[in-house]
Structure 1
Amino acid sequence: MTEQRNGGAAVVESLAAHGVDTIFGIPGTHNLELYRHFTANGVRAITPRHEQGAGYAAEAYARVSRRPGVAITTSGPGLTNAMTAAATAYAESQPVLLVSSGMPTGAEGRDLGQLHEGKNLSGAMNQIVAWSRRVTSADEAAEAVTEAFSFFTGRRPRPVHIEIPVDVLEQAWSGRPRVAAATAPPAPDPVAVGRVAELLAAAERPLIIAGGGAVDAQPEVTALAEALGAPVVTTVNGKGVVDEAHPLSVGASIRLRALQKTAADSDALLVVGSELGDSDLWEGQIRGRVVIRCDIDPTQLHKNCPADHVLLGDAAATLRGLIEALPSKPAGGVDRSAPLRAACQEEAAADAGVYAEINAAVRAALPTQTILVGDSSQVTYFGSVHYFDLPGPRRFCYSPGYATLGYGLPAALGASLGRPGAPVAVLLGDGALMFSVQELATLVEQRLSLPIIVVDNGGFREIEDQETARGIAPLGVELHNPDFSALAAAMGAKGIRTTSMTDLSDHVAAAVDADGPTLIHFDIR
């Protein structure tokens, strides 16, 4: 078949020029000129069973790989199906490029009754992501891809969208892709760095909070904590920034009142790369006697907790500057981490119940470097956040901010392809599974050897608990579930049901080396 260099080639060649070798998407009537060029440009086209799954897969791909994830949709419903995933990437600060086809030039917004026609889908996307751009030519399409990859460097990562009219996809193109120049992050003020270093060194009760903006600064956060003898707590997106087996690690315990009380008493509270949002704090708050905020995004430096001192810059570079500026003998060093971690674990246990034991059993069965994928499930936010220790960042895929159900299975797809060879496991609830159960077929198709542990509590237990707390009789939360193990087998996976914690560990360990995914139905009803 003749390969025509057209608007589709402009996009795909530009993606390949920026190192993209995998996209997630579903071919449709209006985006086929993109699909024409994938194979010739060395780009794998992975087909989830729903465009929302494509978006979640791209988000998790970016989360574990440090490279932007790319999702492709057709026009109209293909794009609107992916909107929740795009909003998730925005809430979780992940670099995702969503490319969609669109109505022909001049037809947009005219209500002509065309296939997949929408009123103004680029405008709608612009309210969800960092920016959306509808292009008018093949050259502009190539330039928009370059602009996207430039946007992904040197600033807080956020998703973007490019809409390409179907006639532009078919338009002849003789250009060449231009590779984006990296944008340098803001450099911290050296005078402010020196002042903060002196303050940290003099502190008797320093505390470090590391968020998602610190995930690429593990050596620096760890070294600074060791120099100060400072406990380190993370947000959920910062989980693993300091090895959770490290003596100074307090884990992802920022929501717990024991931690928030300790922060309030800190005479040097250093917050690195976090907005300190309610999705992490659960109606609590972070305050400190002296607050220092370090962030690459200037709009975050006083958000939700006013700062006494601010450092605008990349986390790793800023922390290296602080370490170099520290006096030789900081005042800190009293071991406050062990008792603080114990207090946090005791508090977390009140919510976790059986989920703590489940996570311990799953953790024991998996390799140390496993990437764990969760969902908006009690077993994740009451369990995995606190009881599945990680040795490093970018190994926990979960959406605490947008808190969407159905993230787990497609995110496992993206995580597995984003870090090939790394063990991946999924641990989620039955309600979350049913939001995207169709993606089990995609995992089978890709022959991904991963355990999928489904903790079955019979429906939407969190919402049932909230109804009960408000004096509302349970309504809409007690759900009929299929035979999960039989459903898995019907899709080509291995399916197992158990109620034994010991058997759970054995099944998880066996699933890591299986030929394809294994769904383990763990019934706790």
Structure 2
Amino acid sequence: MKRTVGEVLITLLERRGVDTIFGIPGVHTVEMYRGLSGSGIRHITPRHEQSAGFMADGYARASGKPGVCLLITGPGVTNAITPMAQARADSIPMLVISGVNRVATFGQEEGFLHELPDQQAMMREVAVLSQTLHHAEDLERVLDRAFAAMTAGRPGPVHIEVPLDVMKQLIDTPAERSMVPTRKVADPAIIAQAARLLEGATHPLILAGGGAVGAADAITELAEALDAPVVTTTNARGVLGGHRLCVPASPSLGTVRQLMAESDAVLAIGTQFGRTDYDMYEDGEAPALACLIRVDCDAQQVTRGRLPDVAIVANAEVAVQALTRQITDTDRNKGQGNLRAAQARGDSLAELPPAYLDHIDVIDAITKAVPGCRIVGDSTQVIYAGNMYAYISQPRGWFNAATGYGALGYGPSAAIGAALGDAASPTVCITGDGGLQFCLSELGTAMDEETPVIFIVWNNNGYQEIERYMCDNVIVPEGVKPSAPDFVAVAGAYGMAAERIEGTDGLPAALDRAKATGKAYLIEMVVP
């Protein structure tokens, strides 16, 4: 029996492992909702399409699967541009499926509802792929292309638009078949060359970026074989968490840069050498690297940032496992890597200012009170400090939008998405009094969906980091003191338990009370 394009779309998404969709229905998408009720896909309704995008982002980072949004044409997709840009900057797979007006109206600009002059052209500027489904029978191949674009090369956001007249058309449901494989296998000759260089090094080093998260176990095995310290960037924090070879500190710190400079072979896995990771303070003093080997799933990405001596274009896990199999001399440098990593950890902490150390203590208090938790952050002081140094126990256990694109208001929505993507790990969100006001209403989504996120609101009465920056540059501060609501009262209005504490001393006890509820909870920390 033939079914509508909207109904078949849901079936094909299920076959590709989609179990959650974030979206706000409208007249331009209801036909695509027709098949949802009989499916196993859970629909999450945020209060704003920007939050839908950030939830999809958090879901993807926590689960390792693409996050999916279903949005109306026009304002729905324009509201999602910011989270798509964040996802592109951080290489996060996100699928945005939207409606669009009837094909015959394209480019007419005659005042049709939600009309844009050229929606696909606009989305193509931020998506790694944007495609219009012109013919109903092409639905499956367009979805294949979208999933390949999200996962075969450098991951990122993909957009598919379905015209109103196309989504109502009747088609046959395609027979089930194998999905298109996307894991790239490394060239054996290049693997052998890289392995010889690493094995011959006396001071090897591994740099792990966000693209290394899915290869955490393989990287641990390789690091032990090489006795190589592993420096983790913001999006890789938690890889080798707690291991003797882990250096959970930013490559922007002088101590880490010295470690990099003294290494005679550097293996960079899934890292783009982005400025906000490797040159946060824009001092231009990132060191030259001897014998740089880069592993990346995207050949174009290898040409950005540091040009390598050896480039391995392959899936990170596949490449690292292949390298490990080639390493045979594993005893020559034993113990040296341990000492180098320990010294880098100690010297990195000693390099940080007292205020950052206080903020890192807050992170440590959270990880002790909520063991195994995932911390999702917004642009706020504690997160800035943690991006410089934070001991996180597991991969996918720390992420935020304070690097790269730097979208404010990311944390609360992404934390809800993360809790839905991986319910096994407790989720803690650290947001500021300014950032939370970008998406304050999403506290209601957390209650609707029963996601037990603990929201910690770092209330320092405004945009304090911007105020400090203005003062440091002899600028009279303006626009940095937006008034905040009574966050506890707002949470209560949504039915969420909440409390306010003064300073940081009461945080562990407050976290215990939050955990005991087993539900979403808000802790407002009023800090100087």
Contact 2:467 2:477 in 1 (8 A): yes
- Quote the Cα distance in structure 2 between the aligned partners of 1:516 and 1:394: 22
Give the match for residue 340 of structure 2.
336
Give the match for residue 397 of structure 1.
399
Residue 443 (str. 1) matches residue 443 (str. 2): no
Residue 267 (str. 1) matches residue 226 (str. 2): no
Change (3 A) 1:318 1:384: closer
Deviation at 1:431, TM superposition (A): 1.2
Deviation at 1:8, TM superposition (A): 1.0
- Quote the Cα distance in structure 1 between the aligned partners of 2:308 and 2:468: 37
Q: Which segments of 5 or more consecutive residues in structure 2 lack a partner in the other structure?
A: none
Deviation at 1:349, TM superposition (A): 4.1
Give the match for residue 41 of structure 2.
43
Q: In structure 1, give the amino acid aligned to 2:251.
A: I
**Percent identical:** 36
- Quote the Cα distance in structure 1 between the aligned partners of 2:180 and 2:510: 45
Give the match for residue 96 of structure 2.
98
Residue 365 (str. 1) matches residue 369 (str. 2): yes
Q: How does 1:22-37 map to 2 (within 5 A)?
A: 22-37=20-35
2:97 match: secondary structure: strand
Contact 1:23 1:71 in 2 (8 A): yes
2:509 match: secondary structure: helix
* Correspondent of 2:274 among 274, 277, 280: 277
Give the match for residue 322 of structure 1.
323
Q: How does 1:101-500 map to 2 (within 5 A)?
A: 101-176=99-174, 181-243=179-241, 245-281=242-278, 282=280, 283=282, 284=284, 285-329=286-330, 331-333=332-334, 334=336, 335-350=339-354, 352-367=356-371, 369-383=372-386, 386-387=389-390, 389-399=391-401, 400-500=403-503
1:269 match: secondary structure: strand
- Quote the Cα distance in structure 1 between the aligned partners of 2:60 and 2:240: 20
1:106 match: secondary structure: helix
1:209 match: secondary structure: strand
1:40 match: secondary structure: coil
Q: In structure 2, give the amino acid aligned to 1:314.
A: N
Q: In structure 1, give the amino acid aligned to 2:47.
A: R
- Quote the Cα distance in structure 2 between the aligned partners of 1:384 and 1:491: 32
Q: In structure 1, give the amino acid aligned to 2:399.
A: C
- Quote the Cα distance in structure 2 between the aligned partners of 1:523 and 1:122: 45
1:471 match: secondary structure: coil
Change (3 A) 1:299 1:516: same
| 1:173-192 alpha-carbon deviations (Å, 9 max, x no partner) | 23326656233433322222
* Correspondent of 1:60 among 58, 68, 72: 58
Contact 1:87 1:402 in 2 (8 A): yes
- Quote the Cα distance in structure 1 between the aligned partners of 2:177 and 2:276: 37
- Quote the Cα distance in structure 1 between the aligned partners of 2:28 and 2:318: 45
1:492 match: secondary structure: coil
Contact 2:253 2:388 in 1 (8 A): no
Q: In structure 2, give the amino acid aligned to 1:319.
A: V
Change (3 A) 1:420 1:279: same
Deviation at 1:287, TM superposition (A): 2.6
Contact 2:379 2:406 in 1 (8 A): yes
Contact 1:240 1:390 in 2 (8 A): yes
The number of residues matched between the two structures is 520
Output the aligned Cα RMSD.
1.9
Give the match for residue 13 of structure 1.
11
What's the TM-score once normalised by structure 1's chain length?
0.95
Q: Which moved more, 1:148-157 or 1:121-130?
A: 148-157
Change (3 A) 1:180 1:499: farther
Contact 2:203 2:264 in 1 (8 A): yes
- Quote the Cα distance in structure 2 between the aligned partners of 1:265 and 1:154: 34
- Quote the Cα distance in structure 2 between the aligned partners of 1:338 and 1:515: 37
